[in-house]
Amino acid sequence: MESKTKDTLEFINKVIKEEQSNYQYFFDLIERYKALYRKLKSDLPYHLNVIDELHANENAHSRIFAKLLQQKTIENRYEILESFVEYLTEQKANFLQNIKVENPKITQEEKRIDLWIRDKTYAIIIENKIHYATDQERQLERYIQKTREEGFRDEQIFVIYLSPEAEEPNEQSWGECKNEFQDRYFNLSFCDNILQWLKEKVLPNIRLKDLFLRSAIEQYIDHLEGMFDLRTINNKMNMELKEFIKQELQLNSNSIENINKLLAKREEINNVSNLIEQLIDDYRLKEDKIFFEKAQLEMSQKYPELEKVGDGKTIMGFIVPLEDSTNIRVIITYNDRLYCQIDKDIFDDKDLPEIIRMKTKYLLPLSTGIRQFWQYFNRYDYDGVYKCFQEVMMILLPK
């Protein structure tokens, strides 16, 4: 019995050492790849792209995309939006079928929705994840609910998840909505779908006189091609990187063997990527918990008479009474970024008094009509959002 147990432990230790060796080899491979990539990148010919130089984040991509879809002719036709709808219908049977572009309202970052298209008989939610931002808690479900509140029935609501290379949303992001919206959901890729649509459907149909529109689209196409190393000037670099991988993985003339080796290596990469995502989530939850609990405690000591709102983990804040006996909600929360916000979302009357707009406009310059006033901060700028919250509270409740 003792001998059998010893053999089992030795076998387990051997497996663990092999796994550690595999992962160490993987990380060493990545470091060698990065070194070669940096060298080849520095040797590329001179190339200038304005969007590259501005380091466009997800919000910037949403603004660019929104401006393209908002293009309108003197005959009041939304040609690019019409082209987009037609392209999606071609790519996925029955998706957006019978949709007619009439008088759309196209917004960006309204109610936190990256892109929101609302027309007479349909609404399209576009969630932009071009830089791999993680899905927030029940994110798609919340956006669907906000669209329902605008008066749209479920059969009129469509969801597009726009990611770099057709990555799927996190299961929890759907909440209870996944099954209901499967036929009205499209997993769209920047690399494959958006680039193809812009190059083949949009750019060839731009009028010669629309110089700035053409220039903007050309720059955006080039920027996306740069993100995915698809520029023609990158061809030589990509060939050398492929050769590096072939040598490192000892690929040979047998294609089937090579495919199996590459699939196995891709699985390793995915496993490591999943572990990294888990670690990011662990650290994020830890820092959020520390911040929200500390902020709620400190502000509760300063304003002990106020009713607290939120869970202290993802939202903290207070119900603040106004002089006219109405109440507003002042909170810090997050959704890809941190937000300091005033609203009345938990009350029947959701419109904020104009006086609140005037008092807080320089601190909370962004708004959804008169229903929400806010300012956003980088996802981990806890000091910045907390300072903003403190200043808003001092304005609303001067002592």
What pLDDT shows up at residue 174? 93
Residue 104 backbone dihedrals phi, psi, to 5 degrees: -75, 150
Residue 32 CB partners (closer than 8 Å, separation 6+): 244, 248
CA 73, CA 35: separation in Å to the nearest integer?
49
CA 367, CA 362: separation in Å to the nearest integer?
12
Return the structure tokens found at 31. Answer: 């470091």
Contact between 274 and 73 (Cβ < 8 Å) = no
CA 128, CA 85: separation in Å to the nearest integer?
17
Q: What percent of the chain has pLDDT over 70?
A: 93
CA 189, CA 54: separation in Å to the nearest integer?
22
Please, is 370 exposed, middle or buried when counting C-beta atoms within 10 Å of its C-beta (0-12, 13-18, 19+)? middle
Q: In the chain, how long is the greatest CA-to-CA distance?
A: 87
What pLDDT shows up at residue 19? 57
Residue 379 backbone dihedrals phi, psi, to 5 degrees: -55, -30
Q: Provide the whole-model pTM.
A: 0.72
Q: Letter for the amino acid at 92?
A: K
Q: Which of these, 212, 182, 389, 360, lies nearest to 296 by C-alpha position? A: 389
What pLDDT shows up at residue 222? 95
CA 127, CA 141: separation in Å to the nearest integer?
12
pLDDT tens sequence across 281-337: 889 889 999 999 999 999 999 999 999 998 877 889 999 998 777 889 999 998 778
What does each of the 399 residues of the chain score in pLDDT, given as a tens digit?
555 555 555 555 555 555 556 667 777 888 888 899 899 888 888 899 999 998 888 888 999 999 999 999 989 999 999 999 999 999 987 788 788 999 999 999 888 899 999 999 999 999 999 988 777 778 899 999 999 999 999 999 999 999 998 889 988 899 999 999 988 999 999 999 999 999 999 999 998 889 999 999 999 999 999 999 899 888 899 999 999 999 988 999 899 999 998 898 888 888 888 888 888 888 988 999 999 999 999 999 999 999 999 887 788 999 999 877 788 999 999 877 899 999 887 777 778 888 888 899 999 998 877 788 889 898 899 999 999 999 999 999 887
Contact between 172 and 137 (Cβ < 8 Å) = yes
DSSP secondary structure letter of residue 353:
P
Return the structure tokens found at 104. Answer: 């759309």
What pLDDT shows up at residue 337? 84
Beta bridge partners of 279: none
Beta bridge partners of 338: 334, 377
CA 222, CA 358: separation in Å to the nearest integer?
42
What pLDDT shows up at residue 6? 52
Q: Which of these, 153, 148, 158, lies nearest to 85 by C-alpha position? A: 158
Q: Letter for the amino acid at 118?
A: R
What pLDDT shows up at residue 13? 59
What pLDDT shows up at residue 299? 94
Q: Which of these, 87, 93, 105, lies nearest to 189 by C-alpha position? A: 87
> What end-to-end distance do the CA atoms of the chain give, in Å?
77
What pLDDT shows up at residue 112? 82
Buried b / exposed e over 181-205, threshold 16 CB at 10 Å, is beebbbebbbbebbbebbeeebeee
Cross-sheet strand order for the sheet of 157-163: 105-110, 113-118, 123-128, 157-163, 185-189
Q: Which of these, 192, 201, 200, lies nearest to 224 by C-alpha position? A: 192
